[in-house]
Amino acid sequence: MYRLVCVHCAATYAPEEIIYTCARCGHLLAAEYDLETLDVSRETWNRRPLAVWRYRELLPVRGGPVTLQEGGTPLYRLTRIGEELGLSGLYAKHEGMNPTGSFKDRGMTVGVSMARELGMRSVACASTGNTSASLAAYAAAAGIPCVVLLPAGKVALGKVAQALMHGAQVISIRGNFDRALEMVHELCVSHGLYLLNSVNPYRLEGQKTIGFEVIDQLGGEAPDRMVLPVGNAGNISAVHKGLRELTALGFVDRMPMMTGVQAEGSRPVVNAVEQNLPELIPEPNPETVATAIRIGAPVNAEKALAAIRTTGGTAISVTDDEILAMQRDLARKEGIGVEPASAASVAGVRKLIDAGVIDRDEQVVCVVTGHLLKDPETVVRQCKPPLEIDADLQSLLSALRL
C-alpha cells in the first residue's frame, strides 16, 4: 500500500515503475504509504528481533527479502566523552556493526530485494566506498551481477577490498564521486541496470530504520537531537522521513532536531543552512580525509534542508583534525572503532556544545556510520607502529612503560 511521490511537485508514480527522478520536474521520488489503512502496531514490532525487517510493514518489499541480517546495531552511551562535554545524555548508534560494516546495508537489503521483485537482472552504483562494499555483498547474496564506479585513488582500502572480494565489476574513474554518479545514472537508464545510489527511493526506506531502532532502544521516546554525517544527504533525509511516519502513526509524540555535520572542505549543505539559501550551491572540488562524505553536490539536499529546517535542527562543519581527534577519542575513551566520516557526527556535537547551540540537558544521538577497519590507512597514519624487539623477557621489560 504505497506509491512513489515526487518530493518537489507531488506527481505520483506506480511502485513497479523503474524510475529514479520525476518525469515532470526531474526531482527525486519517495515511497509514501497509506498510513491510515496500514496494519501495524508497536506490539507486533516488539515481538520481533531488533533489525531492519522488524519494521516490514513500513517497508516496500512484499516477498521474502534478500537479507544478511542487517540492523539491530548497538546504541552506546558515551560516558567519558559525554562527561568531558558536560552532556550526560550523549549516545552513539554504531552502524559499523552491520554485516559489511556500514549503515548502507540497511538500504541495500531493501534495495536489492526490490531489484529482485522488479525483475531487474543486474545492479549498479557509484560510490565513495561503502555503497559499493554493501551492494557487492547483497548482489552476491541475491546471485545477480553488480557494477560499481569509484573515484580513482579516493576510496578507503577496506571498502575496495570488500567490493572486489564479493565479486563486483569494480571500475575506477578519473574523476570525483559526483561525476561517477552522473555516469552510472546514465548507464543504468540506457542499459537497464538497477541503480542503487541514494537517488533510489527504496534504498532510503531501509535506512530510515536507524531512527526506528533508536526510538525502540530509548524505550519508545524520541531523543532531542539526532546528529548525522552528511555526504549525499540520503541518510539524514531517510531518518527524518521514518520519524515523520512514526509521528503520523502516533508512535512518538515529537521530532528530534535533525542535525547534519560536514567536513570543512566539503560543506555545501552547511553553507545553505548558514546563509538560508533556498537551494544548495555545489562544491566543485570537495576534499576531506573523511572520504565517505567527500561529496560536493549532494543529490538529497532538498530533502535534507527541509529536514533540518522543519525540526529546528542545524548543520555545522568540522575540520579534518577535529574529525581525526574524535576518531581517536571514540576509540580510546569509549572503545568504539569508527571510520573518519562517522567521527564527524560526534566532533560536530563537541563544536555545537562549545558554540552554545546544544543545551547540556539535551539527549543527543549521534549516528556513527561505518567501522574503523574500513580505512586502515588513515588509522596507521595516526598511530605509531608497533615496537619490534628481540624475543626475550628482558627486552620486553625494557620496552614496556609499566
Contacts with ligand PLP by CB under 6 A lie at 102, 104, 130, 198, 229-235, 292-293, 339, 341-342, 369-370
Smallest gap from Cβ 18 to Zn ion, in A, equals 17
Which string of DSSP letters, residue by residue, matches 28-46?
Answer: BEEEEE-TTT----HHHHH
Cβ distance to ligand PLP smaller for residue 147 or 233: 233
**Would you give the binding string for Zn ion spanning residues 18-37, x where CB under 5 A is met?**
----x-xx-x----------
Cβ distance to ligand PLP smaller for residue 82 or 234: 234
CA distance 272 to 281: 7
Q: Let me know: does 312 contact 254? Beta carbons within 8 Å.
A: no
Smallest gap from Cβ 28 to Zn ion, in A, equals 9
Cβ distance to Zn ion smaller for residue 6 or 272: 6
| Adjacent-strand bridge partners of 276 | none
Distance from the Cα of residue 319 to its chain's centroid? 20
Is 360 a binder of Zn ion (CB under 5 A)?
Answer: no
- Name the segment binding Zn ion (CB under 5 A); options: 6-14, 62-70, 343-351, 358-366: 6-14
Smallest gap from Cβ 29 to Zn ion, in A, equals 8
The secondary element (H helix, E strand) that includes residue 50 is none
Per-state percent for the chain, helix, strand, coil, to nearest 5: 45, 15, 40
CA distance 117 to 63: 7
CA distance 192 to 50: 35
Could you say which of 2, 5, 11, 183 contacts Zn ion (CB under 5 A)? 11
Smallest gap from Cβ 129 to Zn ion, in A, equals 31
Is 6 a binder of Zn ion (CB under 5 A)?
Answer: yes
Alpha helices in 68-175, H assignment, sequence order:
79-85, 104-117, 130-142, 157-165
Of all residues in the shown chain, the one whose CB is closest to ligand PLP is: 370
Smallest gap from Cβ 110 to ligand PLP, in A, equals 14
Please choose which of ligand PLP, Zn ion, none residue 341 contacts, taking the beta carbon within 5 to 8 angstroms, the exact cut-off set by kind.
ligand PLP
Smallest gap from Cβ 304 to ligand PLP, in A, equals 8
Cβ distance to Zn ion smaller for residue 25 or 399: 25
Q: Let me know: does 341 contact 369? Beta carbons within 8 Å.
A: yes
DSSP, res 220: S
- Pull the grid cell for residue 257: 532536531
SS3 193: coil
Binding residues for Zn ion, per CB under 5 A? Answer: 6, 8-9, 11, 22, 24-25, 27
